A and B are shown apart, each in its own frame.
Chain A
Amino acid sequence: MVPVSYYLILSGILFTIGTVGILVRRNALVIFMSIEVMLNAVNLTFLAAGRYLNSLDGQVIVLLVLTVAAAEVAVGLALIVAIFRSRGTTDVDEVNLLKW
């Protein structure tokens, strides 16, 4: 059996990939996908920990997280579409009316 620490390390790596993706990519859609990678890293942690601890909590929580992620997709894509319609780009560097 694969020890639980492997899963935790893998989810840590996935989370880092997601974070770095958000910080370096400039396309709103790709940033959004990176957020999803982060959330899935969290899901993996919950599942691995739940299995390791022999508790169902972790798996139930994953369902809740998936639901929240789906709701986020609905709002996020709508915003990105609205931005694209009015500006013809989803590059976050070009969305820069507001700054000090």
Chain B
Amino acid sequence: MDFVVPTVDLGSIAPALLVLATALLVLVGELFTAPGRKGALAVLALLGVAGATAKSFLLWGQSETAFGGMVALDNYGLFFGLIFLIALGMTVLLSVRYLDQMDMDHGEYYVLLLLATFGMMLMASGTDLIVIFLGLEILSLSLYVLAGFARTDLRAQEAALKYFLLGAFSSGFLLYGAALTYAATGTTNLARIVGFLAQAGVAGNPLLWIAVGLLMVGFGFKVATVPFQMWVPDVYQGAPTPVTAFMSVGAKAAGFAGFLRVFLYAFPALSVDWTWLLAALAVLTMTLGNVVAIAQGDIKRMLAYSSIAHAGYLLVAMASNSQAGVSAVLFYLVAYAFTNLGAFAVVVYLARQGQEALELSDYAGLGSRAPLVALAMTTFMVSLAGVPPTAGFVAKFYLFGAAVEAGLVWLAVIGVLNSVISAYYYLRLIVIMYMREPSALLALAESTVGAIFKI
């Protein structure tokens, strides 16, 4: 019997490995940095991000599969990898001062961020249901801990518990979907699933439909589509703000990376059945996210509902099931990454020792107190609403354009109507920042301070 040593093509997952190696380095470095000087670890993490980014650019344009078809090196995976690295780099920058202020300056924070990014990159480049699942779990387990990183804070604990229970629940669905796919087609490899379906057809294989349904529920939880969105507001509100920023961009993009790869690549044979389902989910997700966001008084909760709505817009492009749709999703995620991270960055920036500016009323008068910050926030809000000439507008234009091309004009119309609804709560924040006076209590506090100084 011949024994063939399997090839180990580490080169093709080099960016992810660099992130992993950095995580381990930071973990060891944590031992040698004194408390209060953990900022050095952030620098190390950023170096890792820079290295992985450079490696991604070097690998750009190559196309090959590695580890027996389990992982693919392609522009799709690299592009998603760059989105994750942007999210990671910006989150690290946001975190240094925040961790100090909130008294949770522990090096493990950066390790967990790096490990989560490793999971995301694995998920985006995986071409086997099991690798995608493992990537998802690495990502999720790190984020469960990060969500509860302020471990004595009751809200953070609650957010972590809810995230954990619902996350594990949804992983179960995803995994059962993978198991039934295996039972139905004899493989978990996406390329071989395509081959099997092309050969055997989809008729007379009821397990396959159940499997696709379960996979859709699993991914639906991860990218937070209605009716699987109930964990999002609670988790986003309770988690430390930089972690929320990271989750809202990185974890969502990773969810879409897996979702797109599995459905558009492996199951086009069943697309007649899942496109209308995705379209229905898109309508529900956009509408619920936008309508409920209007009623929110907490900015993190408002951004959470807005992120649900954005998942809905992305589903619009996915439902169009075309190459144009995939490109639109990728472009949208980049625009969304920058604007959403920026909005959370403003929230982090306004945090003071031990407490944060989370109520919308905290933003009253920001236009005169801190004009530059208010201007930045205005730009992000306008971009999230999709007003020209911002990136958000161009990205939405591509999304809905892809839907129109695929003949889903009604879906694009509903998407545009939803953008109009969303403008209400994005613009409300701008109005509060520029046109409303700070609350009496705050004004009183400032005048008292002024009086004391005068005396």
Which residues of A approach B to under 8 Å, CB–CB? 4, 8, 11, 15, 18-19, 22, 28, 31-32, 35, 38-39, 41-42, 45-46, 48-50, 52-53, 55, 57-58, 61, 64-65, 68, 71-72, 75-76, 79-80, 82-83, 86-87, 92, 95-100
Contacts and interface: CB of A to CB of B under 8 A. Distances in A.
Interface stretch (B175-183, B279-287, B325-333): B175-183
16 contacts: A8-B183, A15-B176, A19-B172, A28-B161, A45-B176, A46-B179, A49-B186, A61-B130, A61-B182, A64-B134, A71-B141, A83-B161, A86-B157, A95-B162, A98-B233, A99-B234
Nearest to B292: A100
B401 interface: no
A72 B183 contact: no
B436 interface: no
B245 to A, nearest CB: 18
B199 interface: no
Nearest to B172: A38
Interface in B350-398: none
Nearest to B167: A72
Contacts of A52: 183
B169 interface: yes
Interface of B: 130, 133-134, 137, 141, 144-145, 148, 151-152, 154-155, 157-162, 164-165, 168-169, 171-172, 175-176, 178-180, 182-183, 186-188, 207, 233-234, 237-238, 292, 295-296, 301
A41 B168 contact: no
Q: Which 8 interchain pairs have the tightest Cβ spacing?
A: A49-B183, A38-B172, A45-B179, A98-B234, A35-B168, A42-B175, A68-B137, A42-B179
Contact of A92 (B161, B178, B187, B238): B161
Contacts of A95: 157-158, 161-162
A67 to B, nearest CB: 9
A87 to B, nearest CB: 7
Nearest to B298: A100
B164 A76 contact: yes
Nearest to A60: B130
B295 A100 contact: yes
Nearest to B152: A86
Given A15-B172, A71-B141, 20 more contacts: A8-B183, A22-B169, A35-B169, A38-B169, A39-B172, A42-B178, A49-B179, A49-B182, A61-B130, A65-B175, A72-B141, A76-B144, A83-B157, A83-B161, A92-B165, A98-B155, A98-B233, A98-B237, A100-B296, A100-B301
A35 to B, nearest CB: 5
Secondary structure of the B contact surface, majority rule: helix
A48 B207 CA distance: 14
B153 to A, nearest CB: 9
A3 B237 CA distance: 49
Contact of A87 (B134, B154, B172, B301): B154
Contact of B154 (A8, A18, A31, A97): A97
Contacts of A42: 172, 175-176, 178-179
Nearest to B182: A49
Contacts of A97: 154-155, 158, 238
Contact of A45 (B162, B168, B183): B183
Contacts of A92: 161, 165
A35 B182 contact: no
Contact of A22 (B154, B165, B186, B187): B165
A98 B238 contact: yes
Contacts of A53: 183, 186
B234 A38 contact: no
B299 to A, nearest CB: 13
Nearest to A41: B176
A50 to B, nearest CB: 8
B20 to A, nearest CB: 16
Given A39-B172, A53-B186, A68-B134, A45 B301 contact: no
A53 B145 CA distance: 38
Nearest to A58: B182
Contacts of A32: 165, 168
**A15, A41, A98: residue with the most chain B Cβ atoms closer than 10 Å:** A98
Contact of B144 (A19, A35, A75): A75
Contacts of A71: 137, 141
Nearest to A99: B234
Contacts of B176: 15, 38, 41-42, 45
